[in-house]
């Protein structure tokens, strides 16, 4: 009887050991298989038949303080995938932006989920921090991959990304409608998402006069704000559709070259050999007014406030018009303006 009991115990131990080994082997091979299939793996790369589009996503916050090093306060990421405006199924994946955190055990290295035909997805128990997101649509017999550069999640946040269009981008075209007495030669048209529901970043197109035609493509479907770089107040809102070009957009040429961040506006008159730039207006109490800029000043040079003479970075332009143009494109909100007043040059730093 004792021998039979010992045999039974031994058999149970052997079976349990075999089961444990089998489970371990399955865990070890699951990652390589996932990488080979391209499903739920950061190592997967799209082939020529699986184009990848990379877009930036506006950061959205619910006001909850973020702590990237906390292992508590997990949240959720939800949204819906669209293919040319229609719900589509596929896969969705989140990976930490900081590679070191993928290896530190700080939180799970990857979140993946299968997206049903309804397009709706939900990733639960996501740690707060910065994530890179991939969505893969399976439609029309092909796979299309979209990479969202960064998704920021706060502690305990329920982050709704809304509709994510994977199917295709659109565009817009139109012209800058000139003023009757305009002598403009060139300008720039800017476009950027008009709402947090539209993916993308600021883009631009150089416009030459006469004609003043512009064209912008590769835009995510949604609402876009487009304007003449000389005045943000010239902006119009344009709806961009997937796979289509919105034509006939018109932007009215600004009367002055406005600089809202500086609190002033300039007039530019074409002349030979250089254009003449004067101060058209100064907002009372604004940065330019406090710095000493006056209406009627003749502008000699305009340099970004971050100009570094020692390194040569931000080398000043050869004339005022070129400098004003470069300053506008730089996105800087401080400037070093040299003006001619009472027969002498004066340097004014704003603000």
DSSP sequence for 268-331: EE--SSS-EEEEEEE-TTSHHHHHT--TTPEEEEEEETT--TTT-TTPPPSSHHHHHHHHHHHT
* Selection from 126, 199, 202 nearest residue 166 by Cα: 199
Rounded Cα distance between 339 and 250, Å, is: 34
Looking at the chain, how many residues does it have? 351
Tell me the pLDDT tens digit for each residue of 233-272: 999 999 988 778 999 999 998 888 898 888 999 988 876 5
State whether 233 and 155 are in the same domain: no
For residue 95, give both structure tokens: 């990976």
Tell me the pLDDT tens digit for each residue of 293-317: 999 999 988 887 665 444 344 455 5
Query: Which H/E stretch holds residue 24?
Result: helix 2-37
Mean pLDDT of 337-342: 89
CB atoms within 10 A of CB 75: 20
The answer to whether residue 49 scores a pLDDT higher than 60 is: no
Res 216: pLDDT? 93
Alpha helix stretches (DSSP H) within 52-139:
99-104
In a domain, 234, yes or no: yes
State whether 143 and 180 are in the same domain: no
Q: Which of 225, 252, 279 is the last residue of a domain?
A: 252
The more confidently predicted of residues 74 and 7 is: 74
Res 239: pLDDT? 92
**What is the maximal distance between C-alpha atoms in the chain?**
119
In a domain, 29, yes or no: no
State whether 236 and 282 are in the same domain: no
Cβ partners under 8 Å of residue 120, min gap 6: 78, 79, 80, 87
CB atoms within 10 A of CB 210: 9
Q: Quick one: pLDDT band at residue 149, thresholds 50, 70, 90? A: low
The answer to whether residue 32 scores a pLDDT higher than 70 is: no
| E strands present in 64-169 | 75-83, 86-87, 90-96, 111-115, 120-126, 129-139, 142-153, 158-165
State whether 228 and 261 are in the same domain: no
The answer to whether residue 196 scores a pLDDT higher than 60 is: yes
Q: Quick one: pLDDT band at residue 320, thresholds 50, 70, 90? A: confident
Residue 68, helix vs strand vs coil: coil
Percentage, residues of the chain above pLDDT 70: 70
State whether 184 and 202 are in the same domain: yes
The answer to whether residue 56 scores a pLDDT higher than 60 is: no
The answer to whether residue 63 scores a pLDDT higher than 70 is: no
Q: How confident is the prediction for the chain on average, in pLDDT? A: 75
Q: Which of 53-67, 121-135, 136-150 has the highest mean pLDDT?
A: 121-135
Q: Is 63 left (phi over 0), alpha (psi -120 to 50) or beta?
A: left
The more confidently predicted of residues 170 and 284 is: 284
Res 342: pLDDT? 87
Res 53: pLDDT? 45
* Selection from 330, 191, 175, 346 nearest residue 261 by Cα: 330
State whether 106 and 92 are in the same domain: yes
Tell me the pLDDT tens digit for each residue of 160-190: 988 887 777 789 999 999 877 777 778 899 9
* Selection from 157, 171, 166 nearest residue 78 by Cα: 157
Q: Count how many domains the chain has.
A: 3
The answer to whether residue 50 scores a pLDDT higher than 50 is: no
pTM: 0.55
Q: Which of 115, 142, 165 is the last residue of a domain?
A: 165
Question: 151 lies in which domain range?
Answer: 52-165
The answer to whether residue 150 scores a pLDDT higher than 80 is: no
Rounded Cα distance between 97 and 271, Å, is: 52
Q: Which of 236, 252, 268 is the last residue of a domain?
A: 252
Tell me the pLDDT tens digit for each residue of 76-116: 999 998 887 788 899 999 888 875 554 444 455 688 889 99
CB atoms within 10 A of CB 291: 18
Percentage, residues of the chain above pLDDT 90: 23
The answer to whether residue 120 scores a pLDDT higher than 60 is: yes
The answer to whether residue 154 scores a pLDDT higher than 60 is: yes
The answer to whether residue 25 scores a pLDDT higher than 60 is: no
Q: DSSP character for 66?
A: P
In a domain, 196, yes or no: yes
State whether 239 and 265 are in the same domain: no
The answer to whether residue 215 scores a pLDDT higher than 90 is: yes
Rounded Cα distance between 312 and 344, Å, is: 26
């Amino acid at each position: 009887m004792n021998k039979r009991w010992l045999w039974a115990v031994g058999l149970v131990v052997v079976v349990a050991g075999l089961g444990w080994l089998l489970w371990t082997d399955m865990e070890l091979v699951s990652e390589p298989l996932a990488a080979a299939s391209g499903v739920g793996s950061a190592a997967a790369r799209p082939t020529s038949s699986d184009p990848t589009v990379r877009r930036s996503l506006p950061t959205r916050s619910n006001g909850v303080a973020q702590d990237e090093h906390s292992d508590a306060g997990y949240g959720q990421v939800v949204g819906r995938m669209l293919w040319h405006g229609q719900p589509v199924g596929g896969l969705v994946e989140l990976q930490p932006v900081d590679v070191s955190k993928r290896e530190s055990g700080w939180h799970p290295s990857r979140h993946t989920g299968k997206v049903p035909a309804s397009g709706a997805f939900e990733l639960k128990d996501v740690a707060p921090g910065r994530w890179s997101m991939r969505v893969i649509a399976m439609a029309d017999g092909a796979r299309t991959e979209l990479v969202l550069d960064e998704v920021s999640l706060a502690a305990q946040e329920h982050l709704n990304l809304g509709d994510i269009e994977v199917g295709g981008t659109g565009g817009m075209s139109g012209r800058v409608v000139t003023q009757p007495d305009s002598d403009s030669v060139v300008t720039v048209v800017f476009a950027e998402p008009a709402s947090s529901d539209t993916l993308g970043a600021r883009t631009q197109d150089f416009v030459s006069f006469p004609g003043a035609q512009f064209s912008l493509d590769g835009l995510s479907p949604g609402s876009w704000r487009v304007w003449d770089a000389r005045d943000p107040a010239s902006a119009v809102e344009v709806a961009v559709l997937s796979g289509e070009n919105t034509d006939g957009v018109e932007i009215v040429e600004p009367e002055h070259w406005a600089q809202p961040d500086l609190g002033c506006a300039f007039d530019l008159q074409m002349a030979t050999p250089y254009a003449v730039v004067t101060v058209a207006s100064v907002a009372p109490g604004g940065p330019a007014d406090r710095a000493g800029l006056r209406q009627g000043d003749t502008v000699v040079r305009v340099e970004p406030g971050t100009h570094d003479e020692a390194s040569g970075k931000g080398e000043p332009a050869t004339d005022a018009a070129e400098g004003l143009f470069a300053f506008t494109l730089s996105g800087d909100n401080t400037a070093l303006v040299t003006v001619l007043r009472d027969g002498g040059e004066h340097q004014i730093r704003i603000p």
